[in-house]
Structure 1
């Protein structure tokens, strides 16, 4: 199955679930106007349609899964992008839809956890951290063949171009994720997140801001902004949505600790393969600065994150369980995302 065929399957699914475009069309209206314009019955119809979309996604309908994650991503855009005109941010109607989408997404991730795995976590902080790392090392996503075989040895320029588009949902806004996540923290954890954020800000040098460096890759491949959304797969959208979901809600802070910590821990080995492919293909050096930088920076960030954020939080049973939950959400969703890319490997 080619990537093009896969995307076609997803996007035709959106046509089957018109609620995706119906609600998307409402997001450009002001919250006050939107809430005043819909009757109680119309709001109930929207909730019913979204619930049906969620149910079909849970049942394995890939078109519904794509529509679900696309809609969730668009709603998150209300609070992660600066608008040029009034939007539906703060709308009660949109909030009702958002919660339905979030709850279904979380339930799906929880359903994929191995039964009893969260109960198996050690109760002491240091053994708990060792257990988390062991979970990752024994997970099928660890040193995934998509990176170590396909990207490193076989990926073409077009393959790397598509890879960058899919990665943009997390790498392209990691600074904003950290900014959202740190609200309400204190002590060593807040300082660690702040140091991580300042590194993302290029330590005060605008030319070295990591999102700026990441965007240089878009220039190398001539990727316009309007191409990004329509090229994202459902699992790529999910990766970005999970990151925003966990970072924006204070009650999900420990899940964010596990999710982002594991993201940084896995990144250096993955980016080594990307750099190798980039140099193998002789692509412009300006486009690989971001990945080269993160091979060393993310190793340091992961170590600091584990020591200053994970270990202190792991004194609490509630925090340990939630950190493990977020870690596994990252491992499992990343595995599905990379497995999705493997048909390309077979084609080569």
Structure 2
């Protein structure tokens, strides 16, 4: 494929739609049909990756959209045969994943990961210190905008943006626990069982999260179109790390930091919800997680991080995952805050 083929947003979308159209085709058939197209497809994905790495926001969006669609295909029970297992599709996926992680590594200050202490408790304190000193800790998007200024439509947008992590946290845990043992497996299992409502269908956390959709009348059809590149990246990173055993230490850091940040963030969401007098059924999920995630964050650090931090390989991976979460979340919240302020300024101008 010539580079000029991917010259504008429409051509990016056409390419993403082309690959997406294979998802319902059996893997062997996909590979047979595309045997002569591999060079074109790979060149196109590499071009999108290169442009995204160079700061092209449009390329970044379509890079993450394609990866999110692929992940949607491989994490959904199909109604028939699908393209899961396709060699060509796997190569496309790996190119997107490698580019995504390479981009995140560029945001890590050189030498930071290597500075991780070797002793377990010192390492754990160091990890927490990274978070407390990071600009994402108590980010003004939550502490100021959500808490004090957000309106119902702002919370509606927030819920959609959070759905790719909060809406499937149980699946992330299920994937992550494969191959673990001892206290780590038990901690993940305990966390998963809480996500399952401790065996009560009406208290399963994904069910409770979906209640928020009902409050705001959010439909499945509008979910993808409402996502920004940073929204897609948040979900893609979480699934990527939990999917591969070689990235287990990074998943430990990424999900552990996700849980540690949740109680403070969700407290601000609850305050906004109550300030606006929205239906109580829609905030049950967040109220539960303020308490539960405080417990699970402590358990995660002591039963997963500490037993795992036994080698430079594991410690450096946990540190990378932690920084990937902190850095990507900071950029994400910066973007959200900028958009929220721009929207509120526009609304004020219209009223005047």
Residue among 11, 20, 23 paired with 1:24: 20
Q: Paired residue for 1:280?
A: 275
SS in 1 for 2:82: coil
Q: Is the counterpart of residue 292 in structure 1 residue 291 in structure 2?
A: no
CA shift, 1:210, in A, is: 0.3
Task: From the superposition, tell whether residues 345 and 77 of structure 1 become closer, same or farther in structure 2 (CA, over 3 Å).
Answer: closer
Shifted more, 84-93 versus 144-153: the winner is 84-93
Matches of 1:243 and 1:53 in 2, distance apart?
Answer: 21
Task: Tell me, in whole angstroms, the C-alpha distance in 2 between the residues paired with 1:156 and 1:65.
Answer: 29
Number of the residue aligned with 2:74: 79
Matches within 5 A, 1:182-201: 182-201=177-196
Q: How does 1:99-114 map to 2 (within 5 A)?
A: 99-114=94-109
User: Given that residues 14 and 66 in structure 1 are in contact (C-alpha distance below 8 angstroms), is that contact kept between their aligned partners in structure 2?
Assistant: no
Q: Which residue of 1 aligns with 2:119?
A: 124
Cα displacement (A) at 1:346 = 2.4
Write the mapping of 1:141-290 to structure 2, written as runs, cut at 5 A.
141-290=136-285
Q: How much has 1:86 moved relative to structure 2?
A: 2.0
The alignment's C-alpha RMSD in Å is 1.1
2:63 matched to which residue of 1? 68
| Distance (Å, rounded) in 1 between the aligned partners of 2:114 and 2:40 | 40
Q: Report Cα offsets for 1:131-153 as digits up to 9, x if no partner.
A: 00000001110000000000001
Distance 1:16 1:137 in 2: 43
- The CA distance in 1 between the partners of 2:220 and 2:241, in whole Å, is 25
Distance 1:259 1:31 in 2: 31
Contact 1:129 1:310 in 2 (8 A): yes
Give the aligned partner of residue 90 of structure 2: 95
Structure 2 partner of 1:36: 32
Distance 1:313 1:56 in 2: 37
Q: State the shift of 1:342 in Å.
A: 1.4
Q: Residues 13 and 67 of structure 1 are in contact (CA less than 8 Å); yes or no, is this contact kept in structure 2?
A: no
What do residues 61-102 of structure 1 show as CA deviations (whole Å, max 9, x unaligned)? 111000000000111112211112321111011001001100
Q: Following the alignment from structure 2 to structure 1, what is the Cα–Cα distance between the partners of residues 222 and 206? A: 18
Deviant stretches of 4+, over 4 Å: none
Retained in 2: the 8 A contact 1:267–1:295? yes
1:278 to partner: Cα distance: 0.2
Q: Which ranges of structure 1 fall in alignment gaps of 5 or more residues?
A: 1-11
SS in 2 for 1:184: coil
**Residue number in structure 2 paired with 1:6:** none
Counterpart for residue 55 of structure 1:
50
1:46 pairs with one of 41, 64, 68: 41
Structure 1 residue 13: Cα displacement: 5.9
In 1, Cα distance between equivalents of 2:30 and 2:278: 48
Q: Secondary structure, in 3 states, of the residue corresponding to 2:135?
A: coil
Q: Secondary structure in 2 aligned to 1:237?
A: helix
Shift of 1:229: 1.0
Distance 1:146 1:253 in 2: 30
Alignment partners' CA distance in 1, 2:158 and 2:104: 23
User: How far 1:241 sits from its partner (Å)?
Assistant: 0.3
Once the two structures are superposed, residues 174-219 of structure 1 have per-residue CA deviations (whole angstroms, 9 ceiling, x without a partner) of 0000000000000000000000000000000000000000000000
Asked if 2 retains the 8 angstrom alpha-carbon contact of 1:14 and 1:20, the reply is: no
Matches of 1:259 and 1:346, distance apart in 2: 28
Secondary structure, aligned partner of 1:276: helix
TM superposition shift of 1:156 = 0.7
Measured after TM superposition, the shift of residue 333 of structure 1 is: 0.6
